[in-house]
Amino acid sequence: MSDKKEHRFWSQQPVSQGKKNHYVNEINKPIEPAKDPVKDIRDKPLNLPDGYEWCELDIFDKIQIEEIYSLLYNNYVEDGDSMFRFDYSIPFLQWALSPPEYKKDWHVGVRVSSTHLLIGFITGIPVNVNIYQNTILMAEINFLCVHKKLRSKRLAPVLIREITRRINRCNIWQAVYTSGVKLPGSISTCRYYHRPINPQKLIEVGFSCLRRNVTMTMTKKLYKISDCPKTPGFRIATDADVPQIHSLLNEYLKRFDVTILFSEEDIKHWLISKQNVVYSYVVEDQETKQITDFCSFYVVPSTVLRHSVYSNILVAYAYYYASSKTDLVDLMQDALVCAKKNKIDVFNCLDIAENKQFINKLKFEFGDGNLHYYLYNWRCPIFSSEKIGLIFL
């Protein structure tokens, strides 16, 4: 789809500007060369409009993380009809923003100077991205947010430029990010799918509709999930499983064109369960005691805006998995069982990686939202969604 909109900011950035067919010698290369991070990159923050100031937020300070939480709770991403808004919990935000080697000064805020109210936010974390044959240390950008009362004042480009400056000062020149909004530079467009677990609540809050000629009883029966996992040896992952999950997952991810290259420390951080944040499971072979398969999901509630009975829905998102022995459908079926045990209302996934193997069989419904993947300062061909093995929070 061609994007006819003029992009005052994005047209000046090193992202692919819509050219579909690159010459072979142009692809898999930076769009702009690296500079000398000490000599050529400004060492002071960018100028902000009068009355605003930069801050670096300490996510482990009780007051500061509450400020971030409240900015996002009131102003972050909503669905197209403004019925739901992401409600990232404090423990989730602390987990998402503190992986191994994280940089405190990549948690960037803008405050009103007179009141100190936090009105803008953007974050980066370091990630090793495998893209085709290249492994590149990049920044993963997330949680860009401007207070609703200050929208359309060009604050977002300032936040993006400032975090770019801070990342470049660390001699890092590429970034990866996703957005529901279509911008220049997308490398893939993916579709959301939703598996109802508590269909009655989803219908009552307007997340889904009762189908024509289908009763609530029939709907509940259709989406019923058993109470126990059925794969022998399926159990919660523990610290002791980290080395095996590490090799299993990195090996499995080789089949995709763009993925994360995980270290063992990354696996421990990202893939060991934390209540109401992330849940990970392994299949242990009963005889050899080897870990043969692995799956996980993370949890982000959504606030239900303007509803008299329900204030939120609990949403799980398919996260990383790797199967070597168990059929992926059986593995994800067991993940659904565990999601239900943890009171999840709906289990979401994208049509990335090998998800199409289980989407229909496990009754995931086609969603109405897209998620676009982007690379900053890296020229490469456009990917089909099943070539993506990289999952954002």
**What residues line the site for ligand MYA (CB under 6 A)?**
7-10, 75-77, 139, 141-146, 151-157, 160, 163-164, 167, 172-175, 177, 179, 181, 183, 376-377
Least distance to ligand MYA from the beta carbon of 276, Å? 22
Least distance to ligand MYA from the beta carbon of 101, Å? 16
Least distance to ligand MYA from the beta carbon of 8, Å? 4
Cβ closer to ligand MYA: 317 or 358? 317
User: For tokens 């509630």, what's the residue?
Assistant: 301
Buried b (16+ CB within 10 A) or exposed e, 165-174: bbbbebebbb
Cβ closer to ligand MYA: 7 or 22? 7
Cβ closer to ligand MYA: 144 or 267? 144
Dist CA 197 CA 61 (whole Å): 36
Q: Taking the CB of residue 4, how many other CB atoms lie within 10 A of it?
A: 5
Least distance to ligand MYA from the beta carbon of 180, Å? 7
Cβ closer to ligand MYA: 164 or 348? 164
Least distance to ligand MYA from the beta carbon of 84, Å? 13
Dist CA 246 CA 206 (whole Å): 40
Dist CA 188 CA 392 (whole Å): 14
Q: Taking the CB of residue 206, how many other CB atoms lie within 10 A of it?
A: 14
Cβ closer to ligand MYA: 177 or 256? 177
Least distance to ligand MYA from the beta carbon of 221, Å? 37
Least distance to ligand MYA from the beta carbon of 172, Å? 6
Cβ closer to ligand MYA: 332 or 393? 393
User: Do residues 203 and 211 touch, judged by C-beta distance below 8 A?
Assistant: no
Least distance to ligand MYA from the beta carbon of 370, Å? 13
Cβ closer to ligand MYA: 122 or 271? 122
Closest CA to 208 of 357, 315, 87, 300: 315
User: Do residues 346 and 313 touch, judged by C-beta distance below 8 A?
Assistant: yes
Cβ closer to ligand MYA: 326 or 377? 377
